[in-house]
Amino acid sequence: MQSSNPVLTRGRGFAAMNPNNTDSLEAAYAAPSAGGVSTGRMTIEDVVMRTGTLFLVLVAVGSVAYGANNGGLAAIGIFGGFILAMVNSFKKSVSPALVIAYAAFEGLALGGISRYYNDIYPGIVSQAVLGTLCAFGGILFAYRSGKIRVTPKFTRIMIGALVGYMVFGLITLFTGFPGGSTGTLIAVAGVALATFFLVLDFDQIEKTIAAGAPRNESWRSAFGLMVTLVWLYLEVLRLVSILRNND
Protein backbone atom coordinates (compact mmCIF):
# COMPACT_ATOMS: atom_id res chain seq x y z
CA MET A 1 0.00 0.00 0.00
CA GLN A 2 1.28 3.46 -0.87
CA SER A 3 0.28 6.65 0.86
CA SER A 4 -1.96 9.02 -1.09
CA ASN A 5 0.30 11.82 0.04
CA PRO A 6 2.29 12.65 -3.14
CA VAL A 7 5.37 13.30 -1.03
CA LEU A 8 5.46 9.64 0.00
CA THR A 9 4.71 8.09 -3.39
CA ARG A 10 5.71 8.26 -7.06
CA GLY A 11 8.17 5.40 -6.66
CA ARG A 12 10.87 7.81 -5.51
CA GLY A 13 13.22 7.67 -2.58
CA PHE A 14 12.15 5.20 0.10
CA ALA A 15 8.79 4.72 -1.62
CA ALA A 16 10.60 2.64 -4.23
CA MET A 17 11.38 -0.02 -1.62
CA ASN A 18 9.20 -3.09 -1.37
CA PRO A 19 7.28 -3.03 1.94
CA ASN A 20 5.64 -6.33 1.00
CA ASN A 21 8.87 -8.25 1.54
CA THR A 22 7.82 -10.27 4.57
CA ASP A 23 11.31 -11.55 5.33
CA SER A 24 12.72 -8.01 5.41
CA LEU A 25 9.92 -6.74 7.61
CA GLU A 26 10.24 -9.61 10.08
CA ALA A 27 13.99 -9.13 10.26
CA ALA A 28 13.58 -5.42 10.84
CA TYR A 29 11.10 -5.93 13.67
CA ALA A 30 13.12 -8.73 15.27
CA ALA A 31 16.45 -6.90 15.15
CA PRO A 32 17.76 -5.19 18.32
CA SER A 33 16.80 -1.54 18.62
CA ALA A 34 19.41 0.91 17.40
CA GLY A 35 19.53 4.60 16.64
CA GLY A 36 19.60 6.06 13.18
CA VAL A 37 23.18 7.29 13.62
CA SER A 38 24.56 3.81 14.27
CA THR A 39 22.52 2.00 11.60
CA GLY A 40 22.23 4.70 8.95
CA ARG A 41 18.53 3.83 8.74
CA MET A 42 15.51 5.97 9.46
CA THR A 43 13.82 5.72 12.86
CA ILE A 44 10.64 7.19 14.28
CA GLU A 45 12.81 9.46 16.43
CA ASP A 46 14.33 10.91 13.26
CA VAL A 47 10.89 11.65 11.84
CA VAL A 48 9.75 13.31 15.07
CA MET A 49 12.88 15.47 15.25
CA ARG A 50 12.66 16.55 11.60
CA THR A 51 8.96 17.29 11.89
CA GLY A 52 9.60 19.38 15.02
CA THR A 53 12.33 21.31 13.22
CA LEU A 54 10.07 22.11 10.29
CA PHE A 55 7.27 23.33 12.53
CA LEU A 56 9.64 25.51 14.53
CA VAL A 57 10.64 27.19 11.26
CA LEU A 58 7.02 27.49 10.18
CA VAL A 59 5.90 29.01 13.49
CA ALA A 60 8.86 31.42 13.67
CA VAL A 61 8.32 32.76 10.14
CA GLY A 62 4.56 32.66 10.59
CA SER A 63 4.79 34.82 13.71
CA VAL A 64 6.74 37.46 11.78
CA ALA A 65 4.24 37.39 8.91
CA TYR A 66 1.33 37.54 11.35
CA GLY A 67 2.76 40.65 12.99
CA ALA A 68 3.59 42.31 9.66
CA ASN A 69 -0.03 41.91 8.48
CA ASN A 70 1.07 42.22 4.86
CA GLY A 71 -1.02 40.53 2.19
CA GLY A 72 1.95 40.57 -0.16
CA LEU A 73 3.94 38.32 2.16
CA ALA A 74 1.06 35.85 2.27
CA ALA A 75 0.90 35.82 -1.54
CA ILE A 76 4.65 35.17 -1.76
CA GLY A 77 4.27 32.37 0.77
CA ILE A 78 1.41 30.73 -1.12
CA PHE A 79 3.19 30.91 -4.48
CA GLY A 80 6.61 29.91 -3.16
CA GLY A 81 5.14 27.17 -1.00
CA PHE A 82 3.29 25.66 -3.96
CA ILE A 83 6.40 25.66 -6.15
CA LEU A 84 8.57 24.08 -3.46
CA ALA A 85 5.86 21.54 -2.62
CA MET A 86 5.94 20.36 -6.23
CA VAL A 87 9.75 20.31 -6.31
CA ASN A 88 10.05 18.41 -3.03
CA SER A 89 7.30 15.98 -3.97
CA PHE A 90 8.79 14.92 -7.28
CA LYS A 91 12.50 15.30 -6.53
CA LYS A 92 14.26 11.94 -6.67
CA SER A 93 16.57 12.63 -3.72
CA VAL A 94 15.30 14.54 -0.72
CA SER A 95 16.90 17.93 -0.03
CA PRO A 96 16.71 19.09 3.61
CA ALA A 97 17.42 22.69 2.54
CA LEU A 98 14.46 22.73 0.15
CA VAL A 99 12.22 21.08 2.73
CA ILE A 100 13.14 23.74 5.31
CA ALA A 101 12.61 26.46 2.68
CA TYR A 102 9.14 25.06 2.08
CA ALA A 103 8.39 25.34 5.79
CA ALA A 104 9.49 28.99 5.72
CA PHE A 105 7.22 29.82 2.78
CA GLU A 106 4.35 28.01 4.47
CA GLY A 107 5.01 30.18 7.51
CA LEU A 108 4.58 33.31 5.40
CA ALA A 109 1.35 31.96 3.93
CA LEU A 110 -0.22 30.72 7.16
CA GLY A 111 0.86 33.81 9.10
CA GLY A 112 -0.89 36.11 6.64
CA ILE A 113 -3.99 33.92 6.32
CA SER A 114 -4.28 33.51 10.08
CA ARG A 115 -4.01 37.27 10.62
CA TYR A 116 -6.75 37.89 8.07
CA TYR A 117 -9.11 35.49 9.83
CA ASN A 118 -8.19 36.75 13.29
CA ASP A 119 -8.96 40.36 12.34
CA ILE A 120 -12.48 39.24 11.45
CA TYR A 121 -12.93 36.68 14.24
CA PRO A 122 -10.68 37.59 17.20
CA GLY A 123 -9.20 34.53 18.90
CA ILE A 124 -9.95 32.18 16.01
CA VAL A 125 -6.29 31.26 15.48
CA SER A 126 -5.89 29.77 18.96
CA GLN A 127 -9.16 27.88 18.47
CA ALA A 128 -7.98 26.49 15.12
CA VAL A 129 -4.60 25.47 16.54
CA LEU A 130 -6.29 23.71 19.45
CA GLY A 131 -8.72 21.99 17.11
CA THR A 132 -5.86 20.81 14.88
CA LEU A 133 -3.91 19.43 17.83
CA CYS A 134 -6.98 17.61 19.14
CA ALA A 135 -7.69 16.07 15.74
CA PHE A 136 -4.06 15.01 15.36
CA GLY A 137 -3.88 13.53 18.85
CA GLY A 138 -7.21 11.75 18.49
CA ILE A 139 -6.42 10.14 15.14
CA LEU A 140 -2.92 9.14 16.29
CA PHE A 141 -4.41 7.42 19.36
CA ALA A 142 -7.02 5.67 17.24
CA TYR A 143 -4.35 4.46 14.82
CA ARG A 144 -1.89 3.29 17.46
CA SER A 145 -4.62 1.48 19.39
CA GLY A 146 -5.70 -0.39 16.26
CA LYS A 147 -9.15 1.18 16.10
CA ILE A 148 -8.38 2.36 12.56
CA ARG A 149 -6.63 0.04 10.12
CA VAL A 150 -5.32 0.94 6.70
CA THR A 151 -6.68 -1.45 4.09
CA PRO A 152 -6.77 -1.22 0.27
CA LYS A 153 -10.47 -0.37 0.49
CA PHE A 154 -9.82 2.39 3.03
CA THR A 155 -7.13 3.84 0.78
CA ARG A 156 -9.38 3.78 -2.30
CA ILE A 157 -12.15 5.54 -0.40
CA MET A 158 -9.78 8.25 0.82
CA ILE A 159 -8.32 8.86 -2.63
CA GLY A 160 -11.76 8.96 -4.21
CA ALA A 161 -12.96 11.42 -1.57
CA LEU A 162 -9.90 13.60 -2.12
CA VAL A 163 -10.47 13.74 -5.88
CA GLY A 164 -14.09 14.73 -5.33
CA TYR A 165 -13.12 17.36 -2.78
CA MET A 166 -10.50 18.83 -5.13
CA VAL A 167 -13.05 19.07 -7.95
CA PHE A 168 -15.48 20.76 -5.58
CA GLY A 169 -12.74 23.19 -4.51
CA LEU A 170 -12.09 24.19 -8.12
CA ILE A 171 -15.79 24.77 -8.69
CA THR A 172 -16.08 27.01 -5.62
CA LEU A 173 -13.33 29.26 -7.02
CA PHE A 174 -15.95 30.47 -9.49
CA THR A 175 -19.19 29.96 -7.58
CA GLY A 176 -18.11 30.74 -4.02
CA PHE A 177 -18.24 28.47 -0.99
CA PRO A 178 -21.80 27.47 0.01
CA GLY A 179 -23.28 29.06 3.09
CA GLY A 180 -25.66 27.92 5.79
CA SER A 181 -25.91 24.31 6.92
CA THR A 182 -24.59 23.03 3.58
CA GLY A 183 -21.39 25.01 3.96
CA THR A 184 -20.98 23.77 7.52
CA LEU A 185 -21.36 20.12 6.51
CA ILE A 186 -18.85 20.52 3.68
CA ALA A 187 -16.37 22.18 6.03
CA VAL A 188 -16.78 19.32 8.51
CA ALA A 189 -16.16 16.86 5.67
CA GLY A 190 -12.97 18.74 4.78
CA VAL A 191 -11.68 18.48 8.34
CA ALA A 192 -12.55 14.77 8.49
CA LEU A 193 -10.84 14.08 5.16
CA ALA A 194 -7.63 15.83 6.17
CA THR A 195 -7.66 14.05 9.53
CA PHE A 196 -8.05 10.59 8.02
CA PHE A 197 -5.26 11.27 5.54
CA LEU A 198 -2.97 11.42 8.55
CA VAL A 199 -3.71 7.72 9.04
CA LEU A 200 -2.31 6.96 5.59
CA ASP A 201 0.80 8.97 6.42
CA PHE A 202 1.30 7.17 9.75
CA ASP A 203 0.95 3.82 8.04
CA GLN A 204 3.37 4.67 5.25
CA ILE A 205 5.97 6.00 7.71
CA GLU A 206 5.81 2.76 9.71
CA LYS A 207 6.21 0.67 6.58
CA THR A 208 9.10 2.82 5.42
CA ILE A 209 10.97 2.43 8.69
CA ALA A 210 10.41 -1.34 8.63
CA ALA A 211 11.75 -1.47 5.07
CA GLY A 212 15.05 0.07 6.25
CA ALA A 213 14.91 3.43 4.48
CA PRO A 214 18.04 5.62 4.66
CA ARG A 215 18.10 8.03 7.59
CA ASN A 216 18.01 11.07 5.30
CA GLU A 217 14.57 10.01 4.09
CA SER A 218 13.16 11.08 7.45
CA TRP A 219 13.09 14.58 5.96
CA ARG A 220 10.68 13.37 3.29
CA SER A 221 8.44 11.75 5.89
CA ALA A 222 8.47 14.91 8.01
CA PHE A 223 7.67 16.99 4.95
CA GLY A 224 4.76 14.77 3.97
CA LEU A 225 3.36 14.83 7.48
CA MET A 226 3.64 18.62 7.62
CA VAL A 227 1.81 19.01 4.31
CA THR A 228 -1.16 17.10 5.72
CA LEU A 229 -1.11 18.98 9.03
CA VAL A 230 -1.06 22.35 7.28
CA TRP A 231 -4.02 21.22 5.20
CA LEU A 232 -5.81 20.12 8.36
CA TYR A 233 -5.16 23.48 10.07
CA LEU A 234 -6.61 25.41 7.13
CA GLU A 235 -9.70 23.20 7.08
CA VAL A 236 -10.20 23.66 10.83
CA LEU A 237 -9.69 27.41 10.45
CA ARG A 238 -12.41 27.58 7.81
CA LEU A 239 -14.80 25.42 9.83
CA VAL A 240 -14.39 27.55 12.96
CA SER A 241 -14.93 30.73 10.94
CA ILE A 242 -18.18 29.33 9.52
CA LEU A 243 -19.39 28.29 12.96
CA ARG A 244 -18.61 31.70 14.43
CA ASN A 245 -20.24 33.46 11.50
CA ASN A 246 -23.41 31.48 12.09
CA ASP A 247 -23.60 32.52 15.76
Tell me: the pLDDT tens digits for 181-217?
888 898 899 999 999 999 999 998 999 899 888 999 9
What's the rounded mean pLDDT across residues 100-126? 96
pLDDT in tens, 18-48: 545 544 444 444 444 445 555 689 999 999 9
- At residue 173, does pLDDT exceed 60? yes
Residue 15 has a pLDDT of 44
Residue 184 has a pLDDT of 87
Which residue did the predictor score with more confidence, 54 or 180? 54
Residue 195 has a pLDDT of 94
What's the rounded mean pLDDT across residues 127-142? 94
Q: What is the pTM of this model?
A: 0.81
Q: What average pLDDT is seen over the chain?
A: 85
What secondary structure, in 3-state letters, does the chain show?
CCCCCHHHCCCCHHHHCCCCCHHHHHHHHHCCCCCHHHHCECCHHHHHHHHHHHHHHHHHHHHHHHHHCCHHHHHHHHHHHHHHHHHHHHCCCCCHHHHHHHHHHHHHHHHHHHHHHHHHCCCHHHHHHHHHHHHHHHHHHHHHCCCCCCCHHHHHHHHHHHHHHHHHHHHHHHHCCCCHHHHHHHHHHHHHHHHHHHHHHHHHHHHHHHCCCEHHHHHHHHHHHHHHHHHHHHHHHHHHHHHHHHC
What's the rounded mean pLDDT across residues 97-123? 96
Residue 14 has a pLDDT of 43
Report residue 12's pLDDT band, with 50, 70 and 90 as the boundaries.
Answer: very low
